[in-house]
Chains A and B, each alone.
Chain A
Amino acid sequence: MTVEALYASLGLSLPELILAIGALALLMVGVFLGEKATGLVNWLAIGVIALAGIVLLSMNGSGVAYGGAFLADPFARFMKLVALLGSAIALFMTTGQAKLYNMNRFEYPVLILLATLGMMLMISANDMMSLYMALELQSLAAYVVAAMNRDDVRSTEAGLKYFVLGALSSGMLLYGMSLVYGFTGQTGFPEIAAFLSSGGRSLGVIFGLVFILAGVAFKISAVPFHMWTPDVYQGAPTPVTTFLASAPKVAAIAMIVRVVIIAFQPITTDWQQVIVFISIASMLLGSFAAIGQKNIKRLMAYSSIGHMGYALVGLAAGSLQGVQGVILYMVIYMVMTLGSFACILAMRRPDGEHVENVSDLAGLSQTNPFMAVVLTALMFSLAGIPPLAGFFAKYFVFLAAIQAHLYALAIIGVLASVVGAYYYLRVVKLMWFDDAKGSFARPEASLRLVYSLSGLFLIGYLLIGGPLGAAAEAAARTFF
């Protein structure tokens, strides 16, 4: 690689460089200042993410860097912004919570930065190799943060499970990539697509494709690779769960979109079947299994499994509208998730005890009416009831599915969301119609800010939906 090419590449990946250098620098700050610097490192990490976001915003145009391994384009930019926002907000909510959850360590923000870096690279990956590396960077950081509360059995168990299952799925991913390489002789996405469109479709490639999809389906916790989700969500400290449920999902979905829409575009009918299957399975399982949950974090885990199924409905369409739907779905999903977890983090009794059961929300409308209103909006939105943002998310993906003649998928999706609505409404009923068992302590300002903003977003989506949809469409045009 010549110096000029290197400079060009460095320029294209400037936000990633900021994150990488920032993470290492903050690690040094933490090492030399010790545990007392946790708060400082946390805020600095938010600053680093903000800086990366600003640089990202100021960039435009697209290009390929590092010999084709890294791609900067409008889609990547949009999804990266969303992912950065998710990470930053997750960190922001941790600022006041770390001590309460016994995870007051400076490594946490550093690991989040590294995971964020992994996500950014995943979104920009244009080659199987860089994709795998990025995915592993993100995953390894995630395994560690899941076990952040080392003295808690649940937390360590969550980390271990996540790691073992994650390693298996990474193995499958790698295996699929090797097969695809073996049968196409290429690792770059455009090159694979070129080979496939010139008649290179063979059984081995499809075989590899299935394994690749299995590997990435694990990352978005789609059925049947969802097993880890409830355990990890429940076991990990809640601030960590907040992070795991938001930004990484956005990055993983972006990665799937890029893999199937670019690399395997010539064999669309093949991957479409797989995506349709895991989408249906995720929607149904997410809806049904959530009903019996008593722990609200497990409930959110199944809910997120279901939501990934809905997002994949858009991808299954494989069209411009479909990808636009996926992008919008992920944005809205992330806002809803962050808002819901802000409320879950606020479920703390005045004596400092954290409660996690759905039934603990009973009578919230009497003890904290404002939070009850926001959480109601969140639940209605998650259920997809108009005119909240969650409705539009579903609307876009179902619309794309209908336009792609996937009628059965759309109808099963609607039926699943009916079942889903049932358990969201159960939460609403608890909050409004049942008697309070006890009140909650006044939530921290950061939590109040986050859930208020997310509630505002969901209700005000009617007003901002237009520009956001246009931005998503511009991002989706990258592929078409």
Chain B
Amino acid sequence: MAEPPAWTCHPRGTTIDIAALLLPVLVFAPLAGSIAAICLPSRQGTEAAWLSGLVAFLCLGISVYLYLHVSHRGVIAWQVAWIPQYGLNLKLRMDGFSWMFSGLISAIGLLVVVYARYYMSSSDPVPRFFSLFLAFMSAMLGLVLSGNLILMAIFWEMTSIVSFLLIGYWYQNGQARDGARMALTVTATGGLCLLVGLMLIGHIVGSYDLDAVLSSGDAIRNHPLYLLALILILAGALTKSAQFPFHFWLPHAMAAPTPVSAYLHSATLVKAGIFLLTRFWPVMAGTDAWFWLVGLAGLTTLLLGAYFAIFQHDLKGLLAYSTISHLGLITVLLSLGSPVAAVAAIFHTLNHATFKASLFMAAGIIDHETGTRDMRRLSGLFRYMPHTATLAMVASASMAGVPLLNGFLSKEMFFAEAIETHKVNLLDTVTPYVATLASLFSVTYSIRFIHSVFFGPPPRDLPKVPHEPVRWMRVPVEFLVLACLIVGIVPSLTIGPLLHTAVEAVLKDDTPSYSLAMWHGWNLPLFMSIAALIGGVILYALMKSYLANSVEGPPYIRRLEGQRIFERVLVALSWRWARLVEAKAGTRRLQPQLRILAAASLFAAAIPLLHRGFQPADIVLRGIDPAFAFVWLIGMACAVGAAWQAKFHRLAALVLLGGAGLITCITFVWLSAPDLAVTQLLVEIVTTVLILLGLRWLPKRIEGATKPEEMTFGVRLRRLRDLLVAVACGLGLSLISYTVMTRQMPGTISSYFLERAYFEGGGTNVVNVTLVDFRGFDTFGEIAVLCIVALTVFALLLRFRPASDSLEKPMQQQVQNDFDDRHPDRSKGDSISDYLFVPTVIMRWMFPAIGMLSAYLFFRGHDLPGGGFAAGIAMSIGFILQYMAGGTRWVEERLRIHPLRWMSIGLLVSTATGLGSWALGYPFLTSTSRYLHLPLVGDVPLASAILFDLGVFSLVLGATVLILIALAHQSVRAPRAHIRAPRPSGTEAS
């Protein structure tokens, strides 16, 4: 990884080094303050307030100091390399525009801290409030100072989280909890969209550095991904700035303490969206998409917000909708794409922050001193708090756009821009009318705010007796209102240079010439203002009586509340859909799970088949021997019959299964694989017998004993489905096997073995040579597994007790015993002792013959069908026959096979053979072979592999006998509750 210098600054001179280093201080000082404040005990609110005030003052001081460095298009930056190859650097960057925002954040922050010191009640955990407040300040400063897109997204989400905690500060209050959750859901969702949008921008530009992005406007606007990135970024900005259709969270966020509303919901948090739009204005604005998307959202918000504000009864609710409307105004200005409009947008951002913050504080004072914010209950407060009333009147006059105040100036600029033609389309045409109407509404709600609270008859039954607040609670309001007045009267002397610094930073060389004068002569915007003022007054006069008694919210439209739609969507998403997904896709039953698993993979595999055109090789039917075909038909019938009978007639099913296995053996013989056939046959016999023995102890399942399942339509359908699945799987498998087998295999290993079996392995039975020589190591592993299996079966069955319903003697024995009982000359058990007498004798005589066969199979194994495995299985058959003929006790009294020893000796012999070759310097399990001439017998093939085969033989025999013993012993055992049968002697294994 290329290691860039850890600390890089971009100074214009050496003096700016200090300036650049102040940037992280600006971001991290509030963070440190926040951590310090949370550590304070909850009663030390005053200390926390002092701490916050000092931090905010420090930030303000730094901002003021840095003005010299950013005026005249100066940029200061500070960065730490972090993961540079991913374009992720901790880069803080300040230009005129972000300077304006950081000044705003720290100045209003300081005022709000002073205000909150007196507003917060001592019963609240005040240090927590200030800690969150400072954390928010840090996140917000970080956002405006980010010089890297990803860092910007991070700070963006941090502001969402901290505002969530601030809104939910009074968590005992249900409204606060809901409001907080809604605000977080909406803004954090937007934030995630923003993240992807910023990543797309970074992808387009090739860098996440803000400077690089700001200098590649054409590349961004002409890129095919522009629209996608624009939509995502707008999703972030519009949610944060509470623009239509995402505006509904802001009124619900009013459950926050008023200082929070004054800070977050007037000056900072909601301005973050505006900040983002303005920041990217030079590189993204000017296109049709921008004009329509931003313009439509802004214009709708402007009008609807103003209209809704009229009908609010809650003071803060009115202010919230008013904020929404004013933010809409700024958005419309930004949508127009003309530089002068951008200037107006930036100017109005400043003005709105001043008058709205002061209004929120005034509303907070009223709430604090009277105990209510409901305008229907408040009236005539002027006589109790004339000072506050005057301040509020000036501020709301500024909100209404009355001349001599700052609100008027930016509104005039807005009107002037609205009547210009920017693009020839419907939206542009309606803008001036909508603007005038919205302004008219804003006059109405401003008058309502003042008139219903401060004038009229004295209030009745207020929770508290109203009076002026403490001096210091009013000071921040006074300061802001003074600013409104001064800026409104002499704009170019006061705000002019500061605004110009911000504008130049955004617009660079496009900076237009504009004049910040109060008087521009008798022009169309002025007439629009006058019309709005007069119309607003008349509208208020008409609506006064209606408003005094109405329900909250505008008539008719109040039902269409965004919040309710949001709740609906959330409920649908979070409960209905979620439940639906879970009910449909998540079952706890095993059978459907298996079905889905199989179906999904089959479906997935079928897609490429259909997609790419599957053509199996043509089926050629030739040389079919009728006899062979008939044998196969029998085999298939056996298999189907076994499945048919498996539920209630296990014995029949097992017999049929044996039949199918037998057909397989015949097939092997037919296709010239005698070795496989022999092995298959022996394995078939042994497994069938073992299963037979086990069957005896399974619980009985008798047809008709349990209530049969009613054959409803559903059941039939389910069975049909299962049948179809089974048939489809079977057909699919056959098709795949057919396809694989009909194509030329690329370089199979069979030819390798066929060629080398005799010359290198010294045998003509390729299968056996492969097993004991070429693949000796695999076989070694397999016999070890066989060993483990036998031991496991034995260990498991050692503790197994048959189910109680299989404890009775078999039907056959019961009948015979009954017969004995009925005849006085016979004693019980006589019939059984004669049972299968002749076959028993034959079976006993067969034992040596089977032993011979086994030896024969073993020795011919290297060249002809046979081998250690087959021999071992054959020998076990001999033992099985003895068990069947004589019964467990009879056999084990005479048994001299110690299965454990046979198994371990077998394993050791095999290992020793392998190690022997190692000792001679060959790889593990290398074999050598020669023919040995024995007198009378002739040439005997003798490979070292035969020793290995001997081990296999011994082990297979031992394992089979061990399993046999384990199964057979069930017959001499009683269930747990009964007395255990005496242990049979003769084996050490039991």
Contacts and interface: CB of A to CB of B under 8 A. Distances in A.
Interface of A: 1-3, 6, 160-161, 164-165, 168-169, 172, 179, 182-185, 195, 200, 203-204, 206-207, 210-211, 213-214, 218, 224-225, 227-228, 230-231, 270, 274, 285, 288-292, 321, 380, 384-387, 391, 395-396, 398-399, 402-403, 407, 410-411, 414, 417-419, 421-423, 425, 429, 432-433, 465-466, 469-470, 473
Given A3-B918, A399-B199, A402-B203, A211 B596 contact: no
Contacts of A465: 82-83
A179 B740 contact: yes
Interface string B834-845: 000000000000
Contacts of B706: none
Contact of B581 (A231, A289, A396): A289
A207 B736 CA distance: 10
Does more than half of chain B's interface fall in helix, strand or loop, or is it mixed? helix
Contacts of B150: 395
B177 A414 contact: no
B785 to A, nearest CB: 12
B582 interface: yes
Which one of B228, B573, B597, B918 has the highest number of Cβ atoms from chain A below 10 Å of its Cβ?
B597
B887 to A, nearest CB: 35
A402 B593 CA distance: 35
Contact of A418 (B177, B192, B228, B593): B192
B604 A231 contact: no
A285 B585 contact: yes
B609 A399 contact: no
Contacts of A203: 608-609, 612, 614
A443 to B, nearest CB: 23
Contacts of B745: 182, 185
Contact of A466 (B82, B747, B748): B82
19 contacts: A165-B593, A172-B601, A179-B736, A210-B601, A214-B600, A224-B585, A224-B597, A285-B585, A289-B581, A289-B585, A384-B192, A386-B157, A395-B199, A398-B199, A421-B185, A421-B188, A433-B171, A465-B83, A469-B83
Given A1-B923, A225-B600, A417-B192, A422 B574 contact: yes
Contacts of A321: 86
B601 A164 contact: no
Contact of A182 (B153, B196, B740, B923): B740
Given A165-B594, A407-B225, A433 B177 contact: yes
B303 interface: no
Given A165-B597, A380-B161, A469 B86 contact: yes
Given A204-B739, A274-B604, A164 B594 contact: yes
Contacts of B614: 203
Contacts of B158: 386-387
A227 B575 contact: no
Nearest to B593: A227
Given A292-B578, A398-B199, A422-B185, A210 B585 contact: no
Does more than half of chain A's interface fall in helix, strand or loop, or is it mixed? helix
Interface in B549-605: 570, 573-575, 577-579, 581-582, 585-588, 590, 593-594, 596-598, 600-601, 604-605
Contact of A227 (B171, B195, B225, B586): B586
B586 A289 contact: yes
A9 B200 CA distance: 47
A230 B586 contact: yes
Contacts of B612: 203, 206
Contacts of A291: 573-575, 578
Given A285-B581, A292-B582, A385 B196 contact: no
Contact of B608 (A206, A387, A417): A206
A185 B593 contact: no
The 7 A-B residue pairs whose C-beta atoms are closest, nearest first, are A386-B154, A291-B578, A185-B746, A224-B600, A214-B601, A227-B593, A292-B578
B193 interface: yes
Nearest to A380: B161
B153 A386 contact: yes
A402 B597 contact: no
Contacts of A396: 86
A169 B593 CA distance: 12
A256 B612 CA distance: 25
Contacts of B575: 291-292
B85 interface: yes
A55 B874 CA distance: 49
Contacts of A161: 590, 593
Nearest to A432: B171
Contact of A410 (B177, B196, B593, B596): B196
A211 B605 contact: yes
A168 B736 contact: no
A429 B196 contact: no
Contacts of B199: 395, 398-399, 402, 410
Given A185-B745, A385-B157, 10 more contacts: A1-B923, A1-B924, A160-B590, A203-B608, A203-B614, A225-B597, A270-B608, A288-B577, A385-B161, A385-B188
Interface string B118-154: 0000000000000000000000000000000010011
A261 B593 CA distance: 30
A395 B226 CA distance: 20
Contacts of A168: 594, 597-598
B1 A227 contact: no
A207 B200 CA distance: 35
B971 interface: no
A183 B746 CA distance: 7
A128 B180 CA distance: 53
